[in-house]
Amino acid sequence: MVFLGPPGSGKGTQAKKLSQELGLMHISTGDILRDAVKNQTELGKKAKEYMDRGELVPDNLMIALIEEVMPKEGGFILDGFPRTVPQALALEEMLRGYKRDVDKVFLFDLSEEVVVERLSGRLTCSQCGAVYHRKYNPPKQEGVCDLCGGKLIQREDDKEEVVRRRYRVYKEQTSPLVEFYQKKNKLIRLDASQDIQEVNKRLLEVLRDGH
């Protein structure tokens, strides 16, 4: 499965939930990159400047990364990949090599104004990466992760001007994938403005009934 959608549309929140509910592997390119930046690996050093500016990391780096982490069997959710047409073509080719294919692509539909509101309230655990929202999904204790007790912080790229740039980059470089997957009859639109439980319910419904 592929989760596609603008920044802050809830892809990560739903991917974490669904992967637990259905025993699927969750591959978030954003999380992998943030780990690489934190650990100052070669990839992290190359990716950091793009991420801080709210731009996409070059396709060749991202494709090599996915090649490395993609499991050869079992179901998985790709959260944040592909994000460009060349990435989608590379994914097709990789999967073909294992006689597999993308099953469904969920499009998380959300307007720019809601994106900005969601991301300005997002809190992320500095240790385990768990995601909260000041208003919509608050931690039990202010500033502390429910899961690991880590400190909650605001992501560098969640400042309003960077969020608006990320949204623009999504529109220009990622949204052509909507048509790409529509033509292949794989695209399913989700109303991502619903609350977290509703979106999860809808995802499970589509996976159960196929539509």
Beta-strand relationship, 122-125 and 131-133: antiparallel
- Smaller CB separation from ligand AP5, 125 or 157: 157
Largest CA distance in the chain: 47
11 is catalytic: yes
- Helices 85-97, 59-69: axis angle to 10 degrees equals 30
Beta-strand relationship, 131-133 and 152-153: unpaired
Cβ 72 to ligand AP5, closest distance in Å?
Answer: 20
- Smaller CB separation from ligand AP5, 100 or 173: 173
Cβ 100 to ligand AP5, closest distance in Å?
Answer: 19
Beta-strand relationship, 76-79 and 25-28: parallel
Q: Which of 46, 104, 155, 202 is catalytic?
A: 155
Cβ 75 to ligand AP5, closest distance in Å?
Answer: 19
Find the residue with minimal CB distance to ligand AP5: 30
Q: Which of 16, 17, 34, 83 is catalytic?
A: 83
Task: Outline where DSSP puts E strands in 74-141.
Answer: 76-79, 105-109, 122-125, 131-133
- Smaller CB separation from ligand AP5, 55 or 207: 55
- 202: Cβ–Cβ under 8 A, 6 or more apart, which residues? 190, 191, 194
Write out the residues near ligand AP5 by the rule CB under 6 A: 5, 7-13, 29-30, 33, 50-51, 54-57, 62, 80-81, 83, 87, 118, 121-122, 131-133, 136-137, 157, 166, 194-196, 199
Residue 33 and residue 31: Cα distance in Å, rounded?
5
- 184: Cβ–Cβ under 8 A, 6 or more apart, which residues? none
Residue 126 and residue 147: Cα distance in Å, rounded?
12
Cβ 124 to ligand AP5, closest distance in Å?
Answer: 8
Cβ 8 to ligand AP5, closest distance in Å?
Answer: 4
What are the backbone dihedrals phi and psi of residue 109, each rounded to the nearest 5 degrees, phi first? Answer: -85, 125
- Smaller CB separation from ligand AP5, 87 or 99: 87
83 is catalytic: yes
Q: Which of 17, 34, 118, 166 is catalytic?
A: 166
165 is catalytic: no
- Smaller CB separation from ligand AP5, 117 or 207: 117
Catalytic residue annotation: 11, 83, 122, 155, 166
